[in-house]
Structure 1
Amino acid sequence: MFKAVHYTEVPEEKVEEKGAKGTHVRWLISNKDGAENFAMRYFEIEPGGYTPRHTHDWEHEVFILSGEGTVFCEGREWRIGPGYVVFIPPGKEHYFMNTGKEKMVFLCLIPYKR
């Protein structure tokens, strides 16, 4: 089914996974919308917040919209900010941390066929 909405119309959920702090997600496009291949998620991480350190069998494609932070992957860390793109390969432990003074906001796409 077709969908065209402002992102603020999509409910925001607190990320409750163990190891997360100050992180919220909006599932902008998901299987609830009829998407069969990919999900598009909108993340906001508060200053000093982070996503949980985790690993899974699927890739991520990430685009940083605003804020500053660090992404940890493959035992290293990279500084990221607006305009950066990040590819997380399958099976690689990773997490994002907001090291700035404003919210860090990014889009994250993941496959459904995992």
Structure 2
Amino acid sequence: MASTPRAHTPQSTPFRWDGVEELVYKESDTTFRDVTRRVLAGAEAGQGVELRYFEVGPGGHSTLEHHEHTHVVVPVRGQGRALVGTEVVDLAPHDVVQVPAWTWHQFRAVGDEPFGFLCLVTCERDRPVRPDAEQLAQLRSIPEVADFLRV
């Protein structure tokens, strides 16, 4: 008999859920700074999606990347900024960010507290792709993007 996913996962402290392990953001990539992730609901829930919580420490940032799968991101803690395509946007709790397929994106914390966000993706997804030198130069040709990027 297959196991039934938990119907309720309480928070033991704010932004920490009982029985949910803090994971390394990425195993084989070093182009990020001070990012953790937690899988709140995954394939076992039978929805075909995975709900993850990412936390970016003060001064931290995610990897600059793109891929075929899409993201829906909802900030829930602190303040942040994001690059989505060639647009840099300020983020506050409960905003909604949609990252289309093959769109460059990167998230950064702003201020002295962690920036936490929920991220919804499909369970089946492709590997992220980092920019090559030509793509990075093209992104850096946009002054606001160049000021934002951390690579």
TM-score (norm 2): 0.70
- Residues in 2 aligned to 1:96 and 1:12: alpha-carbon distance in whole angstroms: 19
Matches within 5 A, 1:15-94: 15-16=25-26, 17-31=29-43, 33-94=44-105
Query: Displacement, 1:18?
Result: 2.5
Unaligned runs of 5+ in 2: 11-16, 126-151
Matches within 5 A, 1:98-113: 98-113=109-124
- Residues in 1 aligned to 2:91 and 2:47: alpha-carbon distance in whole angstroms: 30
Q: What is the percent sequence identity of the aligned residues?
A: 26
User: Counterpart amino acid of 1:44?
Assistant: E
SS in 1 for 2:50: strand
Task: Tell whether the 8 Å contact from 1:29 to 1:35 is kept in structure 2 after alignment.
Answer: no
Task: Flag the 1:67–1:39 CA change in 2: closer, same or farther, 3 A.
Answer: same
- Residue 97 of structure 1 is matched in structure 2 by 108
For each residue in 1:35-72, what CA deviation from the matched residue of structure 2 results, as whole angstroms up to 9, or x when unmatched? Answer: 35100001111000011001110110111101111100
Q: Which has the higher contact order (CA 8 A, sep 6+)?
A: 1
User: Counterpart amino acid of 1:2?
Assistant: P
Task: Tell whether the 8 Å contact from 1:27 to 1:40 is kept in structure 2 after alignment.
Answer: yes
Q: What is the total number of aligned residue pairs between the two structures?
A: 113
Unaligned runs of 5+ in 1: none
- Residues in 2 aligned to 1:56 and 1:44: alpha-carbon distance in whole angstroms: 21
Structure in which a larger fraction of residues adopt helix:
2
Query: Displacement, 1:14?
Result: 2.4
Structure in which a larger fraction of residues adopt strand:
1
What is the RMSD computed on CA atoms of the aligned residues?
A: 1.4
- Residues in 1 aligned to 2:120 and 2:67: alpha-carbon distance in whole angstroms: 14
User: Counterpart amino acid of 1:23?
Assistant: V
Task: Tell whether the 8 Å contact from 1:71 to 1:97 is kept in structure 2 after alignment.
Answer: yes
TM-score (norm 1): 0.90
- Residue 19 of structure 2 is matched in structure 1 by 9
